[in-house]
Amino acid sequence: MPSPKPKTVQTMKPETAAKKLGVLLSATPAEFQEGVVSRDELNALQATPPAWLADLRRNGPHPKQVVAAKLGVSISGLARGGITEPLTTAEINALKAENPAWLEREQSVQAETRKEALRLKQR
């Protein structure tokens, strides 16, 4: 009877872990950026985020997928609006308060896209 193989530890690059955590890699601590992250470590970070992770999620700077979600637009819509750099929560809130024409237009495009996807899904 063959002996069971030892369980291998799944690891990922810091870039992948940062994306899964929804944070900007360049804003994370150096030890996070320089090491590898195991699946168990990622799960622990998600379950009980350390202070640096909670602060990054709360205040940013946020990666483009998070900025797009907070503004209710697509990543392409951000680019069309001229937003190419990461934004902080304060900058996102200021942009929402200002509500420029491009943001309104992109939010309506995103809403239509979601409605159409829902309609197609219900077919």
SS (H, E, C) 3-15: CCCCCCCCEECHH
Task: Say if CB 96 and CB 104 are below 8 A apart.
Answer: no
H runs (alpha helix) in the chain = 14-21, 30-34, 39-47, 51-59, 64-71, 75-80, 89-98, 101-121
The H or E element containing residue 37 is strand 37-38
56-94 pLDDT per residue, tens: 999 989 999 999 999 999 999 999 999 999 999 999 999
What does the pLDDT read at residue 3? 65
103-119 pLDDT per residue, tens: 999 999 999 988 998 88
What does the pLDDT read at residue 56? 92
